[in-house]
Amino acid sequence: MTRTATTSTTTGSGSGEPLLSVRDLSVTFGRGRRAFAAVDQVSFDVRPGQTVGLVGESGCGKSVTSLAIMGLLPARGNTVTGEVMFDGQDLLRLSQEQLRERRGSELAMIFQDPLSSLNPVVPLGVQVAEVLQAHKGMKSGPASRKATELLNKVGIPDPTRRLKEYPHQLSGGMRQRALIAMALACEPRLLIADEPTTALDVTIQAQILALLRELVTESGTALIMITHDLGVVAGLCDQVNVLYGGKVVERAERHDLFSRPRHPYTGGLLASIPRLTEERGRRLNPVPGSVADNIPWEGGCAFAPRCASEVEACRSTTPELEPDRDGLGPDRLLRCHHPLEENPLDDIRTHQPEDTEGGPA
């Protein structure tokens, strides 16, 4: 926060300086004894051109993390602490007006439900042009020409006609494409996608993911992918953060995570993916219990009640997020007293999976 705005230092390739650096981000709802930490000391970096996944089940704090980064949490009823450094500035310390200028132009976000994320009473063209007018001071003429271009770029056929239509006249896939076009209108440097494919059919999901991948590679945009779908992670993310109960429980490069999950929760998520190679009639392997079974992180591991490899320490001391003891590389972080041993998928499933990386991508 002591550093002042250094105007967009050219950040180069995916391995350079982080564009976004989240440090000890905590979001607490309520006060005093009823306080509840939805996000608890989450830290991660995103470099330009990199895709970072935040993975976890409903209620693990992934959406709240993204809203906190964007400064979109309600003004009252919550406390946000920590640091969100974006291009040398702490986003948490900017005023709403300063944030507004950055949203849409530097940071953009795509939401889960494309229908409800579009204004139902305004034609699509106006909504796309609005973003350009807000940030680039474009007049409506050039803005609508640019909007046509954008829709074309995200693969919407006949964009001139589509711009005059209302959201309900478009299909789900097209709506999500339109939202992506709006998010990318000002070429943001960071894009947050909050479960962008959840409301779509599988075929459309694949198209949207391919589109996102293409746009990110093309423009070097950093992408934060929020999802509960490990198939999406497998297809898109470079680095994966697995969240549980508001904390990062495991961090790994994509390939490492799928080939050697260490946290039992990650292992459970992987094991729950149905596979085509499986014998017929086999029951699915859910992670037992639900988020409601959590115990607080204080004095233990929140996942302990649902964990198959629970040991005594899990109920007495809070595990820390530390580099993996088995030396699986410096980038691997793990928060577990009793991590899974080798080939956890075999332990869980008894059936040898053909392709450890495969999900329903």
Binder of other proteins out of 9, 116, 160, 259 (CB under 8 A): 116
Which residues does residue 251 pair with via DSSP β-bridges, in sequence order? 241, 333
Any contact of residue 29 with other proteins (CB under 8 A)?
Answer: no
Report the C-alpha gap between 361 and 353 in whole angstroms.
Answer: 16
Signed CA dihedral, 94, 95, 101, 105: sign only: positive
**What is the β-pairing status of strands 78-86 and 20-29?**
antiparallel
* Phi, psi values for residue 262, rounded to 5°: -110, -35
Any contact of residue 118 with other proteins (CB under 8 A)?
Answer: yes
Binder of other proteins out of 80, 94, 204, 273 (CB under 8 A): 204
Any contact of residue 206 with other proteins (CB under 8 A)?
Answer: no
Any contact of residue 120 with other proteins (CB under 8 A)?
Answer: yes
Report the C-alpha gap between 17 and 123 in whole angstroms.
Answer: 40
Segment near other proteins (CB under 8 A); pick from 178-186, 246-254, 260-268, 326-334: 178-186
> Which of 202, 152, 205 lies closest to 176 in space, CA to CA?
205
Structure-token pair, residue 232: 């999406």
Closest CB to other proteins among 94 and 295? 94
> Which of 89, 93, 87 lies closest to 4 in space, CA to CA?
89
Report the C-alpha gap between 57 and 306 in whole angstroms.
Answer: 13
Q: How far is the CB of 147 from other proteins (least distance, A)?
A: 13
The SS3 of residue 285 is coil
Q: How far is the CB of 141 from other proteins (least distance, A)?
A: 18
Binder of other proteins out of 139, 168, 255, 351 (CB under 8 A): 168
Segment near other proteins (CB under 8 A); pick from 129-137, 214-222, 256-264, 274-282: 129-137
Q: How far is the CB of 242 from other proteins (least distance, A)?
A: 25
Segment near other proteins (CB under 8 A); pick from 17-25, 172-180, 228-236, 262-270: 172-180
Strand ranges across the sheet with 107-110: 107-110, 190-194, 222-227, 51-55, 239-244, 247-253, 333-334, 322-323
Any idea which residue has 């409601």 for tokens? 292
Among residue numbers 237 through 296, which ones bind other proteins (CB under 8 A)?
none
Q: How far is the CB of 360 from other proteins (least distance, A)?
A: 17
Any contact of residue 170 with other proteins (CB under 8 A)?
Answer: yes
Q: How far is the CB of 220 from other proteins (least distance, A)?
A: 20
Segment near other proteins (CB under 8 A); pick from 197-205, 213-221, 224-232, 344-352: 197-205
Report the C-alpha gap between 46 and 139 in whole angstroms.
Answer: 34
Any contact of residue 8 with other proteins (CB under 8 A)?
Answer: no
> Which of 138, 140, 160, 135 lies closest to 149 in space, CA to CA?
160
Q: How far is the CB of 13 from other proteins (least distance, A)?
A: 27
Q: How many whole angstroms from its chain centre is CA 164?
A: 32
Binder of other proteins out of 156, 163, 252, 257 (CB under 8 A): 156
Binder of other proteins out of 1, 122, 308, 311 (CB under 8 A): 122
Any contact of residue 62 with other proteins (CB under 8 A)?
Answer: no
Signed CA dihedral, 258, 260, 261, 264: sign only: positive
Which residues does residue 224 pair with via DSSP β-bridges, in sequence order? 52, 192
The residues that touch other proteins, with contacts defined as CB under 8 A, are 70, 72, 100-105, 108-109, 111, 113, 115-122, 126-127, 130-131, 134-135, 155-157, 165-166, 168-174, 177, 179, 182-183, 185, 199, 201, 203-204, 207
